[in-house]
Structure 1
């Protein structure tokens, strides 16, 4: 755990694969602690303290009681809705039930765009779709544009949302999929290239308030996503709301769906129940007037 950054990515992207599931490396700790108690061994107990300290150093801030709370200006939700979703209307209704002000959707097939538009229209007057991603908002949207992820088709967009508390640049993005197999290992080169492209777009963003609603196909610990994560904070981590695993929906093992922020504060962040997709939606309540303390 302590030396994960030194595991090379040059060999089948093993470093990125490990970092995607990094919190789970602490799973043996309770077993080792139980064995130490069973053996009534003081040296074993002292030895177990080392991985406990390392794990808490890495993740303690996330699992400690929530630091957020209080009022918020904007509630956002992000969801990879699954291209093969059999009931887009039901998924849309579940998202609306969470009462977000802004919704970012990824993996919308062209034949389902109308279904999402129809179901979300009554609650969200403003929306924009670019390729397989879309943004719905209760507040006016201006400056919509596609963001080039070097793929040849649109999987990311940027727009400005004019909320009552102020304007905010909202990005919706879906990084290319990754694969794990025996022959090629963890194949993520296309995703990593797209992460560099999105990082360049975020670096050029002039609005001081930024929210990224994204399926990054990786965790914030994955070094290959540093072009993005070095510029933005995780709303889930900032709120101290736990790991918030979002995938797979039936038994989440990793946080690959994110609300990432810059120039705003987080009041609360959480994961919504499964809604018919293979990803669970992620949500955050944001304060647009960032504190200076």
Structure 2
């Protein structure tokens, strides 16, 4: 029993240290990384709370409960049911996928497109030769905005409907594009901003900050109608960077994943390490449904969202 007690003290101590470090997120990229593992920290805290209670180790029970509360509170909006926000305009189905270059299997990708039949598709981390994948589009997506392949973070937009005012902004860095376009289904238009954000490590973290700030600016510059910001943002919903995107200000974007549970999209082959970093954020529109697609070969899973536009 002494060994078990010692192991509990060490485990709860490490959990408390990680939880405290997460508070220092704005100060350095290392504690900022810890924030992304809220689901894992909450699960560990729950397990250690139960173990401490069963073993009657009051010394570690209290800090385990404190850690459980601290790591669970940010997750509550994603656990409780949220009623769909209905719009008054047409429905648009959006699919987003990080291809991981050549990892995505063309056959599985074809099956995904045939099953979901999205209206708008955003692809990131493009292949050198996109032909094996775009063959799946056939004649259904005649309208396209594709960034010249200058880096692994380039993006491409495909649509059933006309694309206008298309632009690819590289002011943050040549290899860090932010795509913006207007897609117009019948009787409405939708501003689409697509991005594959820089990694949250080292010097890249400041670039990610600037790139996401630019993406938010693009989402609202000159737009008063429905807006979606989609792509691999390389950040989770409980990070400060994500909070800046969704914080109520003069304008803000709503997180379409709220109320849909822990929909992890990256490293999901490893359930203990999966992270929700692929997002669809909306404004002046309602998210009717959001779901994660099957493994198509990439280290990311596809995200499909049904959005109803507001007129």
TM-score (norm 2): 0.78
> Counterparts of 1:96 and 1:286 in 2: how far apart (Å)?
19
> Counterparts of 2:93 and 2:21 in 1: how far apart (Å)?
34
Q: 1:260 to 1:96 in 2, by over 3 A?
A: farther
**Residue 194 of structure 1: SS of its match in structure 2?**
helix
Gaps of 5+ in 1: none
1:59-138 matches, cutoff 5 A = 59-68=75-84, 73-85=91-103, 87-88=105-106, 90-109=108-127, 111-131=128-148, 132-138=154-160
Residue 258 (structure 1) aligns with? 279
Residue 185 (structure 2) aligns with? 163
1:35-46 matches, cutoff 5 A = 35-39=51-55
Instruction: Report Cα offsets for 1:251-274 as digits up to 9, x if no partner.
Output: 251111111111111111121111
Please tell me whether the aligned partners of residues 234 and 261 of structure 1 are also in contact (alpha carbons under 8 angstroms).
Answer: yes
Residue 100 of structure 1 and its aligned partner are, at CA, apart by 1.5
Gaps of 5+ in 2: 1-17, 149-153
- Verify: 1:173 aligned to 2:191, yes or no: no
Q: Between Structure 1 and Structure 2, how many residues are aligned?
A: 281
Please tell me whether the aligned partners of residues 85 and 286 of structure 2 are also in contact (alpha carbons under 8 angstroms).
Answer: no
Q: 1:3 to 1:249 in 2, by over 3 A?
A: closer
> Counterparts of 2:283 and 2:185 in 1: how far apart (Å)?
16
1:223 to 229, 240, 250: 240
Please tell me whether the aligned partners of residues 165 and 288 of structure 1 are also in contact (alpha carbons under 8 angstroms).
Answer: no
> Counterparts of 2:303 and 2:291 in 1: how far apart (Å)?
6
Q: 1:187 to 1:156 in 2, by over 3 A?
A: closer
Structure number, greater radius of gyration: 2
Aligned-CA RMSD value: 3.0
> Counterparts of 1:289 and 1:242 in 2: how far apart (Å)?
25
Q: 1:248 to 1:35 in 2, by over 3 A?
A: closer
Residue 305 (structure 2) aligns with? 284
- Verify: 1:15 aligned to 2:31, yes or no: yes
TM-score (norm 1): 0.82
- Verify: 1:209 aligned to 2:230, yes or no: no
- Verify: 1:57 aligned to 2:63, yes or no: no
**Residue 163 of structure 1: SS of its match in structure 2?**
coil
